[in-house]
C-alpha cells in the first residue's frame, strides 16, 4: 500500500476516533502514531522511540511558554484585571463605539488567556453591557469573540501558534508582529462588520449563565497596571524584535535585547511582574497568588498532552520519510505552500473540530515545504493557524459554548458563530498571501 494512502487512512482514523468515539485526543494521537508507524514498516522499537522523541522535543520548549502563559492568564482573571480592562474600555468609548471597546478588550485579555477562560470571564460582562445599552446581544458580543478567537488561533503565547512556531522553526517575536498585522482586518471583518448584519438576532441569555462575581472598584487593580501586566509578553517580544533590526547583536545593548526577547525570559519576567503588580501590591498573600498559579497550570495539562501527542505523530512521519514524500507530492500541485497549509488545516478542523488538533496535525504534514519552497516560517504559522479556525460546527466545543451562553438554536448558531469563524479564517489566509509579497 502506498505510504500516502497509509497516512491518509491514519488521519481518517484520528478523525473517526476523536469525532465519533469521542476518545481522548492524546490517547488517539498515540494510537494513530503506532498504527501509522507499523503500517509503514517501522519496527516497534523504532516506533516507540520516535514517539518518545517527538513528545520530548515538542514539549521541551513549550512546557515553559504554556505554563507561564497559563499562570499569567489566571492572575489577570483572578485579580480583576480582566474586569477592569472591560469596564474601562466600555466607559471610555461609550455606547456609540461599544464594538470597538469590546474588540480591544477581547484582544488585550485574549493575548495572555486561553480562549475558553476568556470566554467564560468576558461573556457575562458582555451580557451586562447589552442590557445596559439596549443593543442586540450578538451585535455587542461577536466583536469580542472574534478577537478572542483570532488571538487563540494566530498569536503566541497561545498553545497552537507557539507549537506551530516551534515546529516550523519560526521566530516567536516575528510571528507575533506579522500576526498582529494579519489579525486586525480578520477581527474587524469577522467582528464589527459582520455583526452589523445580525441585528435581527437578539437572543435572551439564560439568567443562570451571567451572574458572575463582580468586583468592586476598590477590589480591582488600576487600568494601567491591568493592561501592562496582561500585555507585557507582547510588549517585550514585539519591542525587542523591532529594535534588534537596528542594533548589533554583539553589543551590550544587543545582548540585553536578545535576553529580554527570548520567549522564555519574556514570559518569566511577565509572570514575576504580574505576581507583584496584580498580587503582592494588591495585598494578596503569596499563598493566594500561588493558588492562582497552580490553578492556571492545572487547566492546561491536557492541552500540553495533546500537543505532545501531535509531536509524536510528526516524528513518526519524519522518521518514516513520509513527510518528505508528502512535501514532494504537494509541490507538484503548483500551489502556494501557505494555501496548502491553510487548506489542509481547514479540512482537518472541519472534520475534527479542535483548532489545536487541526493546526498541529497539519504542521506535521506540511513543515517540509519550508525547506523545499523557501516559505517564510512565520507566515506558515499564520496560514496554518488561520486554517485551523475554519467553520466551527457540531464537533467543536466552542460552537456549543457559544450556542448555550447566547441561548441560540443550532441553525442560528451556524448562521452566526460558524460564519464568523469562517470569515476570520478566510481573511487570515488572504492577509498571509498579501504579506508573502513583502516579506
Instruction: Give the C-alpha separation, 308 to 394, whole Å.
Output: 25
Provide the pLDDT for residue 90: 84
Q: What is the mean pLDDT of residues 314-328?
A: 84
Residue 198 DSSP class: -
Q: 171-174: list long-range contacts, CB under 8 Å, 24+ apart.
A: 171/241, 171/377, 171/378, 172/237, 172/263, 173/237, 173/238, 173/240, 173/241, 173/261, 173/263, 174/241, 174/378
| pLDDT at site 184 | 95
Task: Check residue 211 and give its pLDDT.
Answer: 46
Quick one: which of 384, 393, 282, 379 has its CA closest to 343?
A: 384
Residue 33 CA to residue 314 CA, distance in Å, equals: 8
For residues 404 and 119, give the distance between their C-alpha atoms in angstroms, rounded to a whole number: 12
Average per-residue pLDDT in the chain?
A: 88
141-173 pLDDT, tens digit per residue, is 999 999 999 998 988 878 889 999 999 999 999
Binning pLDDT at 50, 70 and 90, where does residue 397 land? confident
Query: Stretch 349-371: mean pLDDT, rounded?
Result: 87
d(CA 375, CA 377): 6
Question: Taking 70 as the threshold, does the pLDDT of residue 213 lie above it?
Answer: no
CA distance 130 to 152: 24
N-term to C-term CA, the chain: 41
What's 205's DSSP letter?
Answer: -
What's the pLDDT score for residue 203?
87
Model confidence over 406-422: pLDDT tens digits?
Answer: 888 888 999 999 999 99
State the average pLDDT over residues 326-338. 83
Say how far apart CA 64 and CA 192 lie, in whole Å: 35
The structural domains of the chain, with segments of one domain joined by +, span 3-435
| DSSP string over 117-174 | HHHHHHHHHHHHHHHHHT--HHHHHHHHHHHHHHHHHHSTTSHHHHHHHHHHT--HHH
Distances (CA, A) of 367 to 54, 258, 319, 342, 377: 14, 26, 14, 12, 9
What pLDDT shows up at residue 321? 86
Calculate ∠ Cα 72-305-391, nearest 5°: 80
**Kindly report the CA angle at 338 between 313 and 62, in degrees rounded to 5?**
45
Q: What is the pLDDT of residues 215-254, one digit of tens each?
A: 778 889 999 999 999 889 888 888 888 888 888 888 999 8
Across 34-38, 87-91, 402-406, the highest mean pLDDT is recorded for 34-38
Upper half-sphere CA count for residue 425 (Cβ side, 13 Å) = 27
For residue 207, what pLDDT is reported? 59
Tens digit of each residue's pLDDT (9 = 90 or more) over 114-142: 787 778 778 877 887 887 788 899 999 99
Tell me the pLDDT band of 209, cut-offs 50, 70 and 90. Answer: low
Q: Report whether pLDDT(291) > 50.
A: yes
What confidence score (pLDDT) does residue 247 get? 86
What is the rounded average pLDDT of the residues 57-82?
86
Global confidence as pTM? 0.81
**Average pLDDT of the residues in 359-388:** 93
Alpha-carbon distance values, 313 to 48, 357, 401 (Å): 11, 11, 29
Rounded to whole angstroms, the Cα distance separating 241 from 249 reads: 11
Amino acid at each position: 500500500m502506498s505510504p500516502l494512502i497509509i497516512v491518509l487512512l491514519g488521519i481518517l482514523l484520528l478523525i473517526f476516533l476523536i469525532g465519533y468515539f469521542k476518545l481522548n485526543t492524546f490517547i488517539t494521537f498515540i494510537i494513530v502514531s503506532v498504527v501509522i508507524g507499523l503500517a509503514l514498516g517501522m519496527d516497534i522499537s523504532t516506533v516507540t522511540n520516535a514517539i518518545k522523541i517527538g513528545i520530548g522535543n515538542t514539549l521541551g520548549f513549550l512546557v515553559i511558554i504554556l505554563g507561564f502563559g497559563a499562570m499569567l492568564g489566571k492572575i489577570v482573571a483572578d485579580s480583576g484585571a480582566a474586569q477592569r480592562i472591560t469596564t474601562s474600555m466600555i466607559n471610555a468609548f461609550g455606547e456609540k463605539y461599544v464594538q470597538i471597546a469590546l474588540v480591544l478588550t477581547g484582544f488585550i485579555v485574549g493575548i495572555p488567556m486561553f480562549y475558553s477562560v476568556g470566554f467564560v470571564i468576558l461573556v457575562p460582562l458582555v451580557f451586562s453591557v447589552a442590557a445596559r445599552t439596549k443593543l442586540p446581544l450578538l451585535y455587542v458580543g461577536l466583536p469580542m469573540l472574534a478577537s478572542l478567537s483570532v488571538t487563540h488561533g494566530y498569536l503566541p503565547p497561545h498553545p497552537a501558534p507557539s507549537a506551530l512556531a516551534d515546529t516550523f522553526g519560526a521566530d516567536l517575536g516575528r510571528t507575533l508582529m506579522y500576526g498582529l498585522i494579519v489579525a486586525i482586518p480578520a477581527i474587524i471583518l469577522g467582528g464589527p462588520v459582520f455583526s452589523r448584519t445580525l441585528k435581527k438576532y437578539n437572543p435572551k441569555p439564560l439568567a443562570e449563565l451571567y451572574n458572575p462575581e463582580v468586583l468592586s472598584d476598590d477590589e480591582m487593580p488600576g487600568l494601567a497596571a491591568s493592561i501592562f501586566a496582561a500585555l507585557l509578553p507582547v510588549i517585550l517580544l514585539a519591542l525587542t524584535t523591532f529594535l534588534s533590526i537596528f542594533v548589533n547583536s554583539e553589543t551590550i545593548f544587543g545582548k540585553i535585547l536578545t535576553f529580554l526577547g527570548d520567549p522564555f525570559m519574556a514570559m518569566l519576567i511577565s509572570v514575576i511582574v504580574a505576581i507583584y503588580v496584580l498580587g503582592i501590591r494588591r495585598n494578596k498573600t503569596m499563598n493566594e497568588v500561588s493558588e492562582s498559579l497552580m490553578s492556571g497550570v492545572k487547566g492546561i495539562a491536557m492541552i500540553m498532552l495533546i500537543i505532545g501527542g501531535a509531536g509524536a505523530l510528526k516524528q513518526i512521519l519524519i522518521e518514516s520519510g513520509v513527510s518528505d514524500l508528502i512535501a514532494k507530492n504537494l509541490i507538484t500541485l503548483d500551489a502556494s505552500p501557505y494555501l496548502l497549509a491553510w487548506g489542509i488545516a481547514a479540512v482537518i478542523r472541519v472534520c475534527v473540530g479542535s483548532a489545536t488538533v487541526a493546526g498541529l496535525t497539519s504542521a506535521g504534514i506540511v513543515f517540509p515545504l519550508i525547506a523545499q519552497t523557501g516559505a517564510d516560517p512565520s507566515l506558515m504559522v499564520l496560514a496554518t493557524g488561520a486554517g485551523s479556525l475554519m467553520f466551527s460546527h457540531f464537533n467543536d466545543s466552542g460552537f456549543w459554548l457559544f450556542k448555550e451562553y447566547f441561548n441560540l438554536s443550532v441553525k442560528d448558531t451556524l448562521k452566526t458563530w460558524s460564519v464568523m469563524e469562517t470569515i476570520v479564517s478566510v481573511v487570515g489566509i488572504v492577509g498571509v498571501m498579501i504579506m508573502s509579497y513583502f516579506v
